[in-house]
């Protein structure tokens, strides 16, 4: 399956493998499902630059290029510096019943 | 001081006092600082309804009413259900030097 959703799942890898990638949270607008928003936070400018140069990102970027009609990068200032946001990826484990 | 920022600080209370409020993260657009985005996530519809009925929310709502020219509630579907986002509020503690 080559959908945006399956591509964005591969985009979760940075949360597991790149310590400087703190948040990567994708959302789809309920009223207009063509609008996808991804909240990304990084520990530093260097972490961001390192991420976009990574193999993971390039794979995601190339895999979604034909799906994206318009892309806006909206750089934000967090308003409360003592309010930290992070991501957790739930790992599903299959267990054998005994 | 009666700014949006000081009001939004009082809006952090739900993260401390309402277990169903998972994320409350305010951002200001760097290009257009008049645009404020708040990412909010709740554990359930009930948690959301309980939050907007709370004293905290009503205080924030009334305190910012005159500052808001346009409000859009953009309901979102998280694209990866195994990707959980949470907030942490850093507590600053003053310590006595001995």
ipTM of this model? 0.75
* Structure confidence by residue, pLDDT tens digits, B26-71: 899 999 999 999 988 888 999 999 999 998 889 889 998 999 999 9
Nearest to A80 among B9, B79, B80 (CB): B9
pTM, rounded to two decimals: 0.78
CA distance A44 to A3: 30
Q: Is A84 exposed, middle or buried (0-12, 13-18, 19+ CB in 10 A)?
A: middle
Nearest to A88 among B28, B78, B86 (CB): B86
Distance from CA of A94 to the nearest CA of B (A): 15
**DSSP secondary structure string, A28-69?**
EESS-TT-EEEEEEESSHHHHHHHHTSHHHHHHHHHHGGG-S
* Structure confidence by residue, pLDDT tens digits, A62-78: 998 999 999 999 999 98
Contacts of A80 in chain B (CB under 8 A): 5, 8-9, 12, 26
Residue B20 phi, psi dihedral angles, 5° rounding: -80, -10
Closest alpha carbon within chain A to B30 = A76
Contacts of A12 in chain B (CB under 8 A): 80, 83
- 3-state class of B4 per DSSP? helix
Cβ of A25 within 8 Å of Cβ of B74? The answer is no
pLDDT of residue B1: 45
* Structure confidence by residue, pLDDT tens digits, A12-68: 567 777 888 888 888 999 999 999 999 888 889 999 999 999 988 898 899 989 999
Nearest to A90 among B31, B77, B84 (CB): B84
Closest alpha carbon within chain A to B15 = A83
Does residue A10 register a pLDDT over 90?
no
Handedness of CA A45, B32, A60, A87 (dihedral sign): positive
Work out the angle at residue B23's Cα, subtended by the Cα atoms of residues B19 and B25, and round it to the nearest 5 degrees.
140
């Amino acid at each position: 399956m080559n959908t945006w959703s399956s591509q964005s799942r591969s985009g979760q890898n940075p949360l597991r493998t790149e310590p400087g990638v703190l948040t990567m949270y994708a959302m789809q607008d309920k009223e207009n499902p063509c609008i996808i928003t991804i909240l990304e936070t990084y520990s530093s400018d260097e972490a961001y630059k390192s991420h976009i140069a990574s193999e993971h990102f390039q794979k995601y970027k190339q895999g979604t290029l034909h799906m994206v009609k318009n892309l806006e990068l909206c750089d934000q200032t967090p308003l409360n510096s003592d309010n930290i946001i992070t991501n957790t990826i739930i790992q599903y484990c299959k267990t054998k019943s005994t």
